[in-house]
Structure 1
Amino acid sequence: MKPLIADTSTAIQFLLASRQSEIAALRRLLQTGELVGAVSQLVHMLQRERGVANIYLCSGLNADALDKPARNAAAAERDVLRLLGRADEANPPASDSRRLGRTAAVLFALGRLPALRRQIRQAEINPSQATEIFNAVMRSLLALVFEAADTAAEPAVSRALIAMFSFMQGKELAGQERALVAAAFASRAFSDAVRQQSLDLIDGQERCFATFSEFSDPLNLQRWREMAIDGDADVERLRRIALTDNTVTDCSLRWYEVTTRRIDLMKRVEDGLAAFLMQICRAGIGTAEDANGGDRPGDAALEALLTRQMGEPADYSVFVAAAGPGEVAEPLSNNGLSPRLGRSVLSIVGQQSRRVRDLAEELAHLRATLNDRRQIDDAKLLLMRHRRLSEEEAYNCLRRMAMNQNKKLVEVAAAILAVEEVLTDRP
């Protein structure tokens, strides 16, 4: 390998390589944005299928009602698989083991759907079992979006992905509430456990939408606020019946209708978030390409200079600005760049360094938010596995421990994970 030479020519090469790498990363993010949009559509279709399946299993709805939701979900699944395959072609397997692990989980989960659909149609599975399988598929898909948010290198893209992940998670909890309450209405039986689970799902939605509101762009946040104001009256009325009425009538179809309308409105916001994600990826690519192109004389000169210098000895000067009044700016050597271009190089390198520092600071904040979420999720899974709790029960257990100990939720989660690590390492 040819050794590096510490001179202006080499610096320019690395500067240009940095910009080209930035463009390549943004193109990968654009591809990720397409995948996230497809995942969003698949989750939406599976949410519909889950709701119809629950009503079918509880009330004997005509089996033909299962056909359209299953076809729509299968079509959305094909799009996700196509984009996942394309992502693997663009990213070598060794470059991202976590993403590949998430992809494997998605493929395994999706592979369970054909058997599940046969069991539902033949009434060989009960509503809670079917719901749990649908929920597991949705969790694997949302984890793929979470991974995309955690690995994005652009803060603006990370914010958009976090907003979208949080909104998708809140919408999924709304879908779980739709399925749970529809089944209870259809069976005309609301146990205390079902009512508590419903309350937990409502609370979970509020938390997810609060995180979305923190990271969302203004336009999609406004859309959500308008939807939340206008779209929840019928849902709230039926929620009150479900949570308080001891003589429950079969409102399953009405409940499914109004909650589907609400979730379809959420899908519009979700589509807006996907469009915004694509927009900022494309804008970032355009900005980086412009900066790397020839619209500004300084950058054009850098490109031309790099081309001329290929294969030639590097002996170019960088002019340093005068330190004070009356002093003369002098070059470090006397062959090559003009004073103006020399200052342009220093200016661009300085701007790039400041930009990298600012990006690193913002990314550190975003990564901290995601790390907190991951620790809480990991602690929930631990409780679910060891104490056989549902996801909502595990979260409530964490929350009670945090309140009793006067600690933050993430601190309790970290403590649980640390204890598990110690116990696992014991001989």
Structure 2
Amino acid sequence: MTERGLRAYAQPLQRIKRHALWLAAAFFFALAYFAAHNLLEKAGERNDARAIQRWTQTSVLFNQLIHELQKERGLSSGLIAAGGMQFGPALSDQHRLTDLAIGRMRERLYELLVEADGLAHAVERTLSALDGLGTLRIAVFERRIYREQAVASYTKLIEPLFEQLLMATSAARSSRILRQQIAFLSFLQVKEMAGQERALLTAMLSAGNYDLPQATAFHRIKAEEQTWHRNFLHLADPDVVTDYEALLRAPHVAEAEQMRQLVFAGYAGEEPPGGMVSQAARWFDLATRKIDSLADFEHTLSERLLRDANAFEADAQGTLLVNALGVLFSLALACVLILQLWRGKELAERDLELAAQVFDNSVESIIITDEHTRIVEVNQAFTRISGYERADVIGQKARLLNSGRHDSGFYAAMWDKLVRTGAWEGEVWKRRKNGEVYPALQSIVAVRKGGQAVTHYIAMIVDLTKYKETEAMLEKLRTFDPLTGLPNRDAWRSALDQAIANAERNGGRFALIDIGLDRFKLINESLGHGAGDDVLIGAAEYIRRLLRRHDVAARLGGDRFAILLPDLDDAHSIGALCERLLAMFRHPILAHDKQLHVSISLGVALYPADGKDSRTLLRNAETALNSAKESGRGSYKFYSTEMNAAGARLLALEQLLRQALDRNEFSLVYQPQVAARDGRLIGVEALLRWRNPELGMISPVQFIPIAEATGIIVPIGEWVLREACAQAQAWRSRYGLSLQVAVNLSARQFLSSELQAVIRGALDETGLPPELLELEITEGLLMNDPIGAACILERLRDMKLKIALDDFGTGYSSLAYLKNFPLDRLKLDRAFVMDLPQNESDRAISHTVIALGHNLGLEVLAEGIETEAQRDFLTEAGCDCFQGYLFARPMSGPELEAWLQLRGGAAHEPAQAPGRGTGRTDAMQD
């Protein structure tokens, strides 16, 4: 036969041999599998047997401890019931026996811990429960506890011992042994009920007490005893039941039963036998003998259970050895056969292992299904991403992972493309095991056999959660203010444009509220931007609290916020909302550990009445806001067409104000201040005036708020300081007059870090002594930040300057703070002077302010004195100084010099009032 023929003959034989080897290997593997399965069962049975041994050994100690505690309970009950006259020595001896039983339990705990047995936890919990036994014993001996409490306390210690035994019962594969364990526990409960009966009847006999509660407790014990008794008879072996019934017929058991019936007869109203009370010790002895007999029977039961467990272990151990040898033999033969096949498969296995590594270690979730979309395999990334374990999904349909967010049309289009092209890719929503829906990128390819029928589908899923979160965060940063979390100006404009479009389409109306924080720049400049940020965050939170469901709030930038109120154009409802906003901001905002009171001003514009496009609406709402600020802040205004004209005037005024200082359009006038006692001139107050070449004289009421808001007040204030100091020094040099000049400080000046340097520069430049310069500050400025204001005032006082509190009484400053400020003078505001002496409230306030000032060691000056009646009333009230048109109007420096010359050139002569009673309007502007 040729070589070619031999090869052709040998190939079929080799295939037959290979198939035979596979069949043989499969047979021995199956044999090894079944033998191993049986081996595990036998190993479990052996372990069960050993566990039963340990449980039985430990239960003996449990039972001994329970027995001793039961006796201690009965003696304690009798001792308390007999008033301490009986059972004392016996109880002391019983304490020692109980302690010995506890000691044996501790030794057993150490053995179980060494063996790492689960019973150790039961023993440990039992010993922990007995920690309070010593306290209970003392209470019993000192009879500080009622008998029922003592019995209940001992029962509370005993009951957990039964529970621990039950919890530690072995889940034995042998139903017979498990039945014996449960029967054993039922017997222990019978014995426990006998112990409770012993304690109760001992107490009843000792105290001669057969009332209803005692009888009720007795019936409860007997009912429970009968229940456990039936359980035991039902579960125990027949020979055990026979022995138990013989025990119950013992003479001492019958005598105990007879005495129990006599006690019950006493409760039923029959005359109890004489001397029953003296029979307590007899009853306790009989009951104890009965319980001891039960304890002996209990020992017999535990020995029987231990013998059965030993036999069960021996049988399991022998079977285990036989099965182990069978497993080893089958595995050895199977391994020899597999080794023959291994060499021919090594290369293919290597390729499969590489593919498996790629499959298992891919960061993408991979799912393989059959042609019916039942899942046949998943990788580790799948379990990590979806939360499903492999066993949860194998055999399940792939639609298990669907989120429910895609309709049937979506899946129809997906399958149409998959059938036509063999692949599909797109973004989908998936659902994790915990119900969470997440975004994913999914790719599906169809696997075909021989290029024809589909056998499998392979899906790769990329979790896009982090990507989408990052995308959402970037979108939020683009459309939301990062500090407050509110929509920013761009998002606000978009929302406003959308609201206008909806309103045009549906004929709707809505309102727009522009919100500005009052004096926010002052907070930023004085306390820093960190405090400013805290104020903005707090303001945003206050605004959020008052929003309705569909309202939109935004931060427009700086200290500006806005609210869009859809479907709301009723002036009354909008006004009510504005009032609630103003009330909310009366609560302080915590900024850098300081409680700051920040008010707001509101401007309201309505669509379509006040504008039909977003630009007009925003401009008109801002105009209304500015009008609210001009009205004194902390208020709201609805837009009106007149406001535009007023706004234009204010804008023009601001431009002129910026040029006024350079053009020397400002000047100072000085209003004399006189002593109340004799009318002598003691000082002057410097008042700012502005005369514009085009507009003429402009009232401070008009331009001072603009200067404050724009910051121009700072250079103006510095000019006022230098000018006033120069004039006072000129009078001092020319006429020898040491007149104190008072200068008002604005809030921005007061909180400026350059304040001391500016004041010192003005004094050094002019040569004026610091004690002749008085600085006037307002209440509101002090109360914004009392602690910080006090520090600034202390530094000014160190410069020997005088400090006056202007317009006192209008700001409701706290007296608790006022006493801490280093002040020299209080100025009673003209608002409380103008209606004196007729107005009763003004009279009371004036008296109070003067008395307060004097109590604080301050000089009190009253402003706006225009009548002799006002002067006389305030003089009588004790006011120290006056200022007003009754004495002199505000005058320029040369006019004041001429006025002094008319008075003889002396500052100490009583002042006369040129033009008394005139110029009241000018006085109100000062």
| Common fold by TM > 0.5 | yes
| Corresponding residue to 2:178 among 155, 158, 182 | 158
Distance 1:220 1:57 in 2: 38
Is 1:292–2:320 an aligned residue pair? yes
In structure 1, what is the equivalent of residue 287 of structure 2? 259
1:230-265 CA-partner distances (Å, limit 9, x unpaired): 343212221122112255521211111111111111
Distance 2:334 2:46 in 1: 23
Q: Is the partner of 1:21 in helix, strand or coil? A: helix
Structure 1 pair 69/314, CA: closer, same or farther in 2 (3 Å)?
A: farther
Moved more, 156-165 or 245-254: 245-254
Contact kept in structure 2, 1:160 and 1:216, CA below 8 Å: yes
Structure 1 pair 151/20, CA: closer, same or farther in 2 (3 Å)?
A: closer
In structure 2, what is the equivalent of residue 168 of structure 1? 188
Q: CA deviation at 1:176?
A: 0.3
Moved more, 26-35 or 246-255: 246-255
Structure whose residues are more often strand by fraction: 2
Q: Is the partner of 2:42 in helix, strand or coil? A: helix
Q: CA deviation at 1:220?
A: 2.2
Is 1:82–2:130 an aligned residue pair? no
Unaligned 5+ segments in structure 1 are: 317-427
Which residue identity does 1:215 align to in structure 2? L
Structure 1 pair 110/153, CA: closer, same or farther in 2 (3 Å)?
A: farther
Contact kept in structure 2, 1:195 and 1:242, CA below 8 Å: no
Contact kept in structure 1, 2:39 and 2:324, CA below 8 Å: no
In structure 2, what is the equivalent of residue 218 of structure 1? 238
What pairs with 1:207-356 in structure 2 (closer than 5 Å)? 207-231=227-251, 232-245=253-266, 246=269, 248=272, 249-250=276-277, 251-293=279-321, 302=326, 305=329, 308=332
Contact kept in structure 1, 2:32 and 2:327, CA below 8 Å: no
Moved more, 256-265 or 19-28: 19-28
Contact kept in structure 2, 1:35 and 1:84, CA below 8 Å: no
| Corresponding residue to 1:111 among 119, 123, 131 | 131
Distance 2:132 2:77 in 1: 17
Is 1:51–2:51 an aligned residue pair? no
In structure 2, what is the equivalent of residue 126 of structure 1? 146
In structure 2, what is the equivalent of residue 379 of structure 1? none
Structure 1 pair 185/305, CA: closer, same or farther in 2 (3 Å)?
A: same
Contact kept in structure 2, 1:160 and 1:276, CA below 8 Å: no
Distance 2:72 2:225 in 1: 20
Distance 1:314 1:257 in 2: 77
In structure 1, what is the equivalent of residue 600 of structure 2? none
Which residue identity does 1:107 align to in structure 2? L
Structure 1 pair 177/19, CA: closer, same or farther in 2 (3 Å)?
A: same
Moved more, 132-141 or 242-251: 242-251
Contact kept in structure 2, 1:156 and 1:280, CA below 8 Å: no
Distance 1:41 1:66 in 2: 17
Bigger radius of gyration among the two: 2
In structure 2, what is the equivalent of residue 380 of structure 1? none
In structure 1, what is the equivalent of residue 93 of structure 2? 68
Structure 1 pair 192/315, CA: closer, same or farther in 2 (3 Å)?
A: farther
Aligned length: 303
Which residue identity does 2:142 align to in structure 1? Q
Which residue identity does 2:254 align to in structure 1? A
Q: CA deviation at 1:286?
A: 0.9
Q: Name the TM-score, length of structure 2 as normaliser.
A: 0.31
Structure 1 pair 315/259, CA: closer, same or farther in 2 (3 Å)?
A: farther
Distance 1:82 1:172 in 2: 24
Distance 1:309 1:118 in 2: 73
Which residue identity does 1:181 align to in structure 2? L
In structure 2, what is the equivalent of residue 41 of structure 1? 64
Contact kept in structure 2, 1:55 and 1:183, CA below 8 Å: yes
Q: CA deviation at 1:122?
A: 2.6
RMSD: 2.8
| Corresponding residue to 1:13 among 27, 36, 40 | 36
Q: Is the partner of 2:70 in helix, strand or coil? A: helix
Structure whose residues are more often helix by fraction: 1
Q: CA deviation at 1:74?
A: 1.5
Q: CA deviation at 1:50?
A: 1.1
Structure 1 pair 103/301, CA: closer, same or farther in 2 (3 Å)?
A: closer
Distance 1:8 1:63 in 2: 71
Which residue identity does 1:79 align to in structure 2? R
Structure 1 pair 6/141, CA: closer, same or farther in 2 (3 Å)?
A: same
Distance 2:310 2:334 in 1: 31
What pairs with 1:18-33 in structure 2 (closer than 5 Å)? 18-33=41-56
Distance 2:73 2:117 in 1: 35
Structure 1 pair 45/307, CA: closer, same or farther in 2 (3 Å)?
A: farther
Structure 1 pair 252/293, CA: closer, same or farther in 2 (3 Å)?
A: same
Q: Is the partner of 1:214 in helix, strand or coil? A: helix
Q: CA deviation at 1:141?
A: 0.4
Unaligned 5+ segments in structure 2 are: 1-27, 341-926
Q: Name the TM-score, length of structure 1 as normaliser.
A: 0.64
Distance 2:153 2:174 in 1: 34
